[in-house]
Amino acid sequence: MNNPLRRLKQLPWVPLFLVALLTLFWASVLELILVFSSTNVLLIQNALQILFTPPLGIIIFFAIAMGIGTLAVVFLEVIYPQVMINSGVLWALLFCLLGAMLIRNVLPIGTELLQLNSLMLIGSMLGIFFKGKPYWR
């Protein structure tokens, strides 16, 4: 009988977690730049108020989550081209990305866009599998 956990042990967990950390690092940097510019420039602050009011705000949060998932796959393709990407690796990347988001939420970084919630989970999953569609086999 085959060991079902053997396939999980063979996944490249360290590169995937590093890609997840890198993705969230750059997303956090972009978010902090956006927060800093919105506090200093009135035009940007007004534009963000319009963008993040309901119902458009939900679409924007969902687009941010999809962008994070897509960015994670792009970083994986560029930084670790030796990793054979398949559906199992994409699921593991989602798991690592959610773990990195959980770690990021524990840290005292006062941001609101990258909160770990169901919208972030679904959006990042769609972003990962949308960009990783050629690797589903």
| Mean pLDDT score, 20-29 | 95
Give yes or no for residue 135 having a pLDDT over 90: no
pTM: 0.91
What is the tens place of the pLDDT at every residue in 67-82? 999 999 999 999 999 9
For the chain, which residues make up each domain, given as ranges? 20-31+61-137
CA–CA distance from 23 to each of 17, 55, 63, 84, 124 (Å)? Answer: 10, 27, 15, 19, 11
How far is the C-alpha of 91 from the C-alpha of 77, rounded, in Å? 15
pLDDT score recorded for residue 111: 73
How far is the C-alpha of 41 from the C-alpha of 91, rounded, in Å? 40
Buried b / exposed e along 22-34 (16+ C-beta atoms within 10 A): bbbeebbeebeee
Strand, helix or coil for residue 115:
coil
Buried b / exposed e along 81-93 (16+ C-beta atoms within 10 A): eebebeeebbbbb
